[in-house]
Amino acid sequence: MSEVSDQLPADPISAVGVVTSPSKVPDGYFVVAQTTDGCDADLWKDGLFKSKVTRYLCFSRKAGPDVVVDVKLTDIKDALPESFTFVQETMDTKEPATRKRRICVKMSPREAAKTAVCDIQIVAKSKYHLVNYTCIGEINNMGIWYVMRDLPQLQSSQKTSSTTQLEVLPSPTRKNVTRPHWDHYSSGVYTMTALHDVPFMISEKFHAKPKQMQQVNLMGITIKSLAEIEEEFKYNFSSERSIAI
């Protein structure tokens, strides 16, 4: 048999704990005081002997830096799963939270988590199950079930938007550099720049005469002027013209 779950809560669970009484649940926490069929959801009670000791599961959806991304139920003698912590003591009296079995939770930074636990229920009879929920095991003949929910990735889009805005905004220390120039006199505006009154002259090292260059001999190659080259290799194409005529 199955029970159809109601609309899932929007906010993820950020903390899981155990209290000795539903009336002692801390502010901002929800206590699972009853099973899905209305029975007492005491995690400590003994099936054979009545006990004054009671334990109830509770959880919070307070906004914080971390969220619960997984829940496990292990035997007290088993090794603690990697990256998990267990609910060791009650939140109100600091007594042992559970016996024989341990409730283990895995936390993750909210910004890094794609999915998170958003609801926890306790089912009294194993033949019942909750749609879309996952059973992590039984404690005192009661099954603990949880459901996951996708987290909206608003942080990533906000970061991208902020980064884009920062790239568009000009740097406060950046200055626009323009080349100095003179406005045309015909425009009627005479503007002075940083180059005003600076003389422009060709360096004397470029005043060498062509005759001095002819004295240079590189591996037997004599440097000739343009006039010498034209005089030595001049060709008037007279033969070609006579044939064409």
Give 189-208 pLDDT, tens digit per residue: 445 566 666 776 777 766 65
**Statement: residue 60 has pLDDT above 60:** yes
pLDDT given for residue 1 in this prediction = 44
Which of 43-57, 59-73, 103-117 shows the lowest per-residue confidence on average (mean pLDDT)? 43-57
For residue 233, name the pLDDT band (cuts at 50, 70, 90).
Answer: confident
**Measuring CA to CA, how many Å separate 205 from each of 20, 23, 146, 202, 223?**
99, 99, 88, 8, 19
Interval 155-161 mean pLDDT:
49
Q: How much is the pLDDT for 79?
A: 94
Task: Evaluate if pTM is beyond 0.75.
Answer: no
What percentage of the chain reaches a pLDDT higher than 70? 67
Is pLDDT at 35 greater than 50 in this prediction? yes
Q: Alpha-carbon distance 221 to 234, whole Å? A: 20
- Residue 34 structure tokens: 């009853």
Higher pLDDT, 45 or 109: 109
Q: Where are the domains of the chain?
A: 2-152
The more confident residue out of 67 and 5 is: 67
Residue 222 one-letter amino acid: T
**pLDDT at position 7, please?**
65
Mean pLDDT of 163-175: 47
- Which spans in the chain are helix H? 154-168, 210-214, 226-232, 238-244
Across residues 180-189, what is the average pLDDT?
44
For the domain made up of 2-152, give the CATH fold: Vitelline Membrane Outer Layer Protein I, subunit A (2.100.10)
Checking if the pLDDT of 184 tops 50, the result is no
Burial label, 71 (beta-carbon count in 10 A; 0-12, 13-18, 19+): buried
Instruction: Write phi, then psi, for 242 (nearest 5 degrees).
Output: -65, -40
DSSP string computed for 135-198:
EEEEETTEEEEEEEEEPP-HHHHHHHHHHHHHHHSPPTT--------PPPGGGT-----TTTT-
Calculate the average pLDDT of the chain. 78
